[in-house]
Structure formats: structure tokens, C-alpha cells
Amino acid sequence: MIITVALNPALDQTVEVEHLAPADTNRVLDMRFDIGGKGINVARVLKTLGFEALATGFAAGARGRQIIEQLEDSGIGCDFIYVPGETRTNITILDRATHTHTQLALPGPEVGPEAGAQLRDRLRRRVREGGWLVLAGSIPPPGDPAIYTDLIRMADEHGTQTALDADGPIVKAVLDAGAHPTLLKINDHELARLTRQTIEDEDEALQAARLVREWGVPNVVVTLGSDGAIAVTADGDFIVRPPYVDVVSAVGAGDAFTGGLICGLMREHDWAYALALAAAAGSATCQTPGTVLCEGVDVIGLVAKAVVERIPMSAATR
């Protein structure tokens, strides 16, 4: 069983402009709303890849109910804790000329300790040995990373594997507290902040990932944008070259990568396959507009085009 946790889900508003001009009037060419948040997106990608996931977390107000309704309408099971306030709206501005995006991320509603305890109790009854608990995204105010720490320890007690996909300061707080997820998925910029190292190429990413493994995280996957990913795992180290696609929008590609990775590990228990599926899911999402995620048929068509190579333990990437 795979359970995704979205502590701070969002309703994502995407606006597209021809070329973003700061301090000027920008004409909107298109606009759309999608449900979002890392944990939500991972559950949706798992569903499109044919793997059932249970989406959990916090939901507030009318937007929270809208997110749950849309998830349930798409066949994704939900078990959210309702909290006071209103679920946040995030705004993404897509620049068509440069294929870049600017995100305005709101903090979300404040969540008290009672709601956190309620979520832990529900998840304690849900987790199973051999399953995955995916902890993805930001933490709502007051922003205490202890909730991720507690969930990782609770999952460990039940033999459940955990995946953590969050910003560097959250990851640092979790590791400093002595909690170690089964898998850390992180991008190169956040890894640089976490390790306080300069990461400008694949070799430096590999060395930083190996350092985090020395800190007690058995599997570390570092995404490098269009350059692919570096994976330091219990089954060896890998470099991943993603399939080439014409990029429309990279929004959500990292979440799709995480969903593909967990799906591959559950389905085949093989890191090379899981990394290829992850790269294909990320690339397929890059072909879609705005915050639209990948389609399963597109992912399957790209898997064979992803290149996954094993790296000798004593070697650099080239």
C-alpha cells in the first residue's frame, strides 16, 4: 500500500504570458486551476500509472473539499483531516517565450498540534509492513518539521518504508532529530543548502548524495533538472539521463518523478527500472501545459528512452 501525505495542499492557479515583464502590465494568454501540492500530485501520478494510493493530510474550507472531491472523482481514496481556515491558492506564472515559470506560494492555514496528533493516529492504523509512506511538500504554519520526524519514526515501527521530498531546511531538521527516511528525493539546489557544499556538476552532486547516505539515509535521489538525476542507493549508485522532449512546462515534473520512482519500486523492486520510470514520468509531465501532470500512455512510451547507468562506488560520474 502507498500512502501519500499532503500537509499543505493547494489549489494551483496557472496563468500564461508571452514574456513575463517585471514592473509592467502582463497580458494573460491562458489561465487554469488544478488541485495541487506535492503529496496530491504524487497520488495522481501513481493513479495514472495504474497504482492505487491513499491520499491523506490536512484540508481546510471550500478549497479543501474541492480537492478531496476531485481526487475521489478520479478514483483516488482519501482520508484527510479537516482543519479550520481555508486551503491555500498557489499562483504559477508561465513564460511561453523562455519556458520558465515563477511561483507565488502562500503559507496555508495554521494547523494546531491536535490536528497533527489526529493525523498520526489515523496513519498509525493505515500503514502496513512493506508499504510506502510518502511525505511530500511544505508544512503549514507554524511549520514544525517534527510532524515529519514523528511520521517517519511511526512508519519505522510498523516496517513501512518512507520517502521524503521536501525543502532543505525541513530535511535538515528531520535528520538532525535522528529520523532517517528510507528514501530522500531532493533537487541539486536543496542538496547544496542541506550539505553546505557547492554543486555545479554531476560529480559534486554524487559526492554530496554520498555524504547524506553517510548521515544515515540509505537511498538518496538527486534531480538535476533537464540533466537527469543521480541516485545513491542500497543497490548501488546510478546516473539517469531522461528522455528528450519538447518542454512546454516543467511545473510538476519533480512530483511526477517521485510518483514514478515509488511506483517502480513497488512494482519491480528494482532501482534501475524505477529510475527509468521516474525519468519518463518527469519528461512526460514536461510535455503538458501549466500544472497538468503526465498521462500513463506517454510515460510508458518514454521509459525505453531513459538511460540508467550504474556508477562504480569508487568512481565519479565521468
Residues labelled catalytic: 255
Strand residues in 169-274 grouped as ranges (E): 183-187, 219-223, 229-233, 236-241
How far is it, in rounded angstroms, from Cα 49 to Cα 264? 10
Q: Give the list of residues 6+ apart from residue 38 with CB closer than 8 angstroms, or none.
A: 6, 136, 137, 138, 165, 166, 255, 258
Percent composition of the chain: helix, strand, coil (DSSP 3-state, to 5): 40, 25, 35
At 140, list the grid cell: 503549514
Q: Is 85 exposed, middle or buried (0-12, 13-18, 19+ CB in 10 A)?
A: middle
3-state secondary structure of 110: coil
Picking from 117, 106, 105, 184, the residue whose alpha carbon sits closest to that of residue 144 is 117
Give the rounded distance of the alpha carbon of 162 from its chain centre.
13
Picking from 150, 147, 131, the residue whose alpha carbon sits closest to that of residue 139 is 147
